[in-house]
Chains A and B, each alone.
Chain A
Amino acid sequence: MTKTLTAFVAAAILAYLLGVVFISQGNIASVVGLGFDVTLSQRLQAVVHDATHMLTIYLPLVAASLLVGLPVAYGIVRNKPQLRMFGYMLAGCIALLAIHVIMKVTLGLSGIAATRSISGLLAQGIAGAAAGFVFCKLTQPSVSD
């Protein structure tokens, strides 16, 4: 149980941090695309800013989505060890994509600006897939199990 909980926390934090990095750089890409210069230090500072300022909004959403997605994946792949990695990664990916799709459908607007584009949306899916990967690795049954 402790192993699973630790794995979940690690996965959620990784998904959040990766997601924030993608959001941050996506927003900056939009600014650069408008013809403005953004320095490397401004990019790094933006990541730190966004990671600290999105904690109360985005981290709970990420955690909640993984809290649904990963157990569902467990239910599906527990008797199919060959699909374990793929299942968790897919679940993480869908979980994070679902946040943005649900927001768009319910609000009619994009809650996270960087996900207005397909590439920005898929980047969040990659963050979710990475979370699934870590969760899978950290909950890998040991030989003694």
Chain B
Amino acid sequence: MRLTALLLALTLWLPGATAQTDYNLQVVATGLNHPWSITFLPNGSYLVAMRSGEVRRVSREGKVSSPLAGLPDSYVASQGGYFDIVLDPEFATNSRIYLSFAYGTSKQNGTRIVRGVLRGNSVEEVTPIFTTSPLKDTPVHYGGRLQFLSDGTLLMTTGDGFEYREAAQDRFNLLGKIVRIHSDGSIPRDNPFADGDQGHPAVWSYGHRNPQGLALDSASGRIYAHEHGAMGGDELNLITPDTNYGWPAVTKGINYSGAYVSPLRSAPGVAEPVTYWSRSVGTSGLTIYTGNSFPTWRNALFLGTLVDEDVRMLRLEDGEVVDEQIMFSEIEERIRDVRTGPDGLLYLLTDSLQGKVIRVAPDAVAISARRGEHSSKNRSDEQNSAEQG
């Protein structure tokens, strides 16, 4: 893979003015084979997990490492490969990372989480901590997003495997669910079905199709997830435990053949989405922006779209979407992941054989120009006052 230390040379300076905020898009690294997720190391570099079944370290300047050694093989086919990568909340002291990926074979595959210790360019003490069951024979709809909660437990989304949609309503299996585990893979005692009588102990919520966006609003404790619907049924949901999100019995989407999945668009006991897209946009990646670089974006939800090739900024009030802005469509690429960096900037991954890490930074030129304009206006006002005086 070509290293891209030419950050400045490659920096794509595209001043924009979306949502009344000036920004520029900096291509940090390119040539990444279907990057799926990005996480941020304390030293300022990034780990990028790719569907091609490898994780690479990317420096802030854009230098791309060779693949990290020590990670397991993945079942790389269709939608399968490496998915999400996150750091342990205590990473500073234990150097642990967690990776979700497609595990198994064409006949028996599922979503697995491993954890290991990051040392240099390798991962050691790699241990599987969780694998979905039952295994399936389709290379699609894995879910795979990870999110640590403030209590140290870990959520993971799982997909319905496409052919097994009804399984999403079966609380005893792990297809089409959001599961919650401890960081060692054990099951928290306060999970809704922890005793196993009414469902699998790992199940946190159910009735999902293929959720590939998961984020925690650390201020409110709210958990948001979005999922790929069938045609016209992409949803953003507020996730609460022991909640049925409907798929496939209740959905706003229809089959790609044109037929109903179900004639039910709502039903008692089924949570309504916060919002949905009546024309599928292909939601992927989700972050709640909490940085300081873009004050007007604070607390907004950002999610990428694979079909529309843009980013959506959603503003929520009292649990309802009050504004949706289309952003960064000038990139003209499928957006796989959207994250807020610890530097307060927004990071995007584009989905292709030549996938990119793109950093969204305040547009310094525009800002200084605006300040200059402001200063000259002030000077002009002062001059006018002096003349009038």
Could you tell me if A54 and B257 are in contact, using CB atoms closer than 8 angstroms? yes
A144 contact set on B, CB distance < 8 A: none
How far is the CB of A120 from the nearest CB of chain B, in Å?
Answer: 12
Within 8 A of B (CB), among A85-124: 108-114, 116
Interface majority SS (helix, strand, loop, mixed), chain A: helix
Within 8 A of B (CB), among A18-38: 20, 23-24, 27-28, 30-31, 33-36, 38
Query: Is A46 in the interface zone, CB < 8 Å from B?
Result: yes
Check A49 for interface membership: any CB of B closer than 8 A: yes
Complex A-B: 12 CB contacts under 8 Å: A28-B260, A31-B263, A35-B169, A36-B262, A42-B263, A46-B263, A53-B259, A56-B258, A109-B163, A111-B256, A112-B259, A116-B163
Q: Which residue of chain B has the shortest Cβ distance to A36 in the bound complex?
A: B249
CA A112 to CA B169, docked complex, whole Å: 20
**Which 4 A-B residue pairings sit nearest by Cβ, starting from the closest?**
A53-B258, A54-B258, A50-B259, A42-B263
Rounded to whole angstroms, the CA-CA distance of A113 and B248 in the bound complex is: 11
Contact A27–B166 (Cβ < 8 Å): no
Q: Which residues of A contact B (CB under 8 A)?
A: 20, 23-24, 27-28, 30-31, 33-36, 38, 42-43, 45-46, 49-50, 53-58, 108-114, 116
Q: Counting CB contacts under 8 A, is B140 at the interface?
A: yes
Measured between C-beta atoms, what is the minimum distance from A11 to chain B in Å?
A: 21
Task: Return A43 CB to nearest CB of chain B, in Å.
Answer: 7
Closest to A23 in B: B259
Q: Which residues of B contact A42 (CB under 8 A)?
A: 263-264
Cβ contacts under 8 Å, A55 to chain B: 258
Complex: how many Å from CA A112 to CA B258?
9
Bound complex: CA of A49 vs CA of B261, how far in Å?
11
Q: Tell me which residues across on chain B come within 8 A of A111, comparing CB atoms.
A: 256-257
Using A24-B259, A28-B260, A31-B263 as known contacts, list a sample of 9 further A-B pairs with CB atoms less than 8 Å apart, ordered by residue number in A: A35-B169, A38-B262, A38-B263, A46-B260, A53-B258, A57-B257, A109-B138, A112-B257, A113-B257
Check A36/B261 contact, CB under 8 A, given A108-B138, A109-B138, A116-B163: no
Least CB distance from A30 to B in Å reads 6
Of residues B78, B249, B256, B261, which shows the largest number of chain A Cβ atoms within 10 Å of its Cβ? B249
Query: Residue of A at shortest CB range from B137?
Result: A108
Q: Chain B interface secondary structure, helix, strand, loop or mixed?
A: loop
Scan residues 131-167 of chain B and give those whose CB is less than 8 A from a CB of chain A: 138-140, 162-163, 165-166
**With A and B bound together, what is the CA distance between A43 and B259 in angstroms?**
12
- Identity of the chain B residue whose Cβ is nearest the Cβ of A24 in the assembled complex: B259
Contacts of A109 in B (CB 8 A): 138, 140, 162-163
For chain B, which range describes its interface: under 10, 10 to 19, 20 to 34, or 35 or more residues? 20 to 34
Q: Which of B253-304 contact A (CB under 8 A)?
A: 254-264, 267
Alpha-carbon gap, A109 to B255, bound state (A): 13
User: Are A27 and B259 in contact, with the CB atoms below 8 A?
Assistant: yes
CB within 8 Å for A113 and B165 given contacts A57-B257, A58-B258, A108-B139? yes
Give complex CA distance A111, B163 in Å.
10
Residue of A nearest to B78 (CB): A108
B250 at the interface (CB under 8 A from A): yes
- Cα A53 to Cα B253 in complex, Å, equals 13
Chain A residues whose CB sits within 8 angstroms of the CB of B138 once the complex forms = 108-109
- Is A31 in contact with B163, judged by CB distance below 8 angstroms? no
Closest to B260 in A: A46
* Residue numbers in A under 8 Å from B261 (CB-CB): 27, 113
Residue of B nearest to A32 (CB): B249
B77 to A: closest C-beta gap in Å:
9
Q: Across the two chains, which residue of chain B brings its CB closest to A28?
A: B263
